[in-house]
Amino acid sequence: MLNTEQYKLNAEQALKKLMDGNKRFVNFERQTPILSAEERKKLIHKQSPYAIVITCSDSRVSPEIICDCGLGEIFVIRVAAGALSENMLGSIEYAVLALGVELILMLGHDNCGVMEAILHDQADMSEDIQKLCNHVSRHFTKEQKATLTSSEGVRYVTEQDVKLLESIPVLKEKIEQGKLQVVGAHYNFHTNEIELL
């Protein structure tokens, strides 16, 4: 039986739950929680997710699948490259302040198409894709763009975005109170494992 209160986890417990779910996924042991009708009803009026997961829109990186989570467990924010932008901050702060989530997982991944485009300056892109790339690539020096692999580039951007989140006053305050943790991570396509940065 689903008990929404069970999802009131602190950052450490939440991270363990996500990593345990990833282990099950790696080992082809997903439990894929399918809620009963009764359990679904309980979710109508209230959500109590235990983690915010920010990641790329890439179809191969669905957090609910690679962390073996069910409905109501994680508050997911996705955008190509997973790169933090101003419009996403409201969603993040809502989950922290209104829903009481204590863990933010910034999850990058291998073979990211946007990162490939940034590092190899693909010219045949639309204006809006170019804007997205420019936004992500503001983190890099010219030298980094010339030398980093796409996996290294994604890891670097994840680390920069973790720092950025940690510096936002309302989030910083929660971190200082021990009520929030921001964790960077990287999803490896070859092992299917989430590696903490």
Residues that bind Zn ion (CB under 5 A): 56, 58, 112
H or E element, residue 92:
helix 86-97
Q: How far is the CB of 88 from Zn ion (least distance, A)?
A: 15
Specify the residue, 105 or 112, whose C-beta has the smaller distance to Zn ion.
Answer: 112
For residues 107 and 63, is the Cβ–Cβ distance under 8 A? yes
Structure tokens given for 171: 């989030």
CA torsion sign, 168 to 15 to 64 to 9? negative
Specify the residue, 2 or 112, whose C-beta has the smaller distance to Zn ion.
Answer: 112
Specify the residue, 22 or 48, whose C-beta has the smaller distance to Zn ion.
Answer: 22
Pairing of strands 181-187, 194-196: antiparallel
Specify the residue, 58 or 161, whose C-beta has the smaller distance to Zn ion.
Answer: 58
CB atoms within 10 A of CB 160: 18
Q: How far is the CB of 145 from Zn ion (least distance, A)?
A: 17
Q: How far is the CB of 108 from Zn ion (least distance, A)?
A: 8
Q: How far is the CB of 56 from Zn ion (least distance, A)?
A: 3
